[in-house]
Amino acid sequence: MNKQRGISLIELVIFILIIGITGTAIFSTFNTILKGANQPDKILKASQIANARMKMILIKGLAGSFTDPCLANDNAPLPDACQDLNTYANGEGYTIHSSSSTSGKATTLIITVSGMGSASTSMRFVE
């Protein structure tokens, strides 16, 4: 009596279907995870935006006041550089927040950028 060895066509089709469904589920899960992840390029953009804002504060500080020139002021329009940076940041989905605190003669500035990626930079000035 000859015993047949191997697999039938139906078994092969079922195997291929199972592998296809499993593969699709795995790839769609990875796609969902990667969309929400803080990817290095987004974190780098956030860091560059924070550093650009800090440089504006440093330049203004050399003129006598370590305050954020990009904060809205009712009396004066924002400098062009601030408008450009804010337009770029908002267009890319980022929000810039700056805060400062003074203790004696030391002022600490913190720039935080949040959105697609997030970054923070801080600096302390002593007068």
- Write out the chain's pLDDT in tens, 127 residues: 567 777 889 999 999 999 999 999 999 888 877 776 667 888 888 899 889 888 887 877 665 566 677 776 666 777 787 888 888 888 888 988 888 888 888 878 888 898 877 888 888 877 6
The DSSP bridge pattern shows strands 106-114 and 119-126 to be: antiparallel
Tell me, yes or no, whether 64 lies in a domain: yes
Same domain, 33 and 88: no
Tell me, yes or no, whether 101 lies in a domain: yes
> pTM of the full predicted structure?
0.61
Helix, strand or coil for residue 43? helix
Same domain, 46 and 85: yes
Query: What was the pLDDT predicted at 74?
Result: 63
Handedness of CA 9, 10, 11, 14 (dihedral sign): positive
Same domain, 14 and 70: no
> Residue 16: which domain range?
8-37
Same domain, 29 and 72: no
Tell me, yes or no, whether 59 lies in a domain: yes
Residue 11 host element (H or E): helix 9-36
Angle of helix 80-91 versus helix 40-62 axis, rounded to 10: 170
Number of domains in the chain: 2
Residues facing residue 109 across a β-bridge: 100, 123
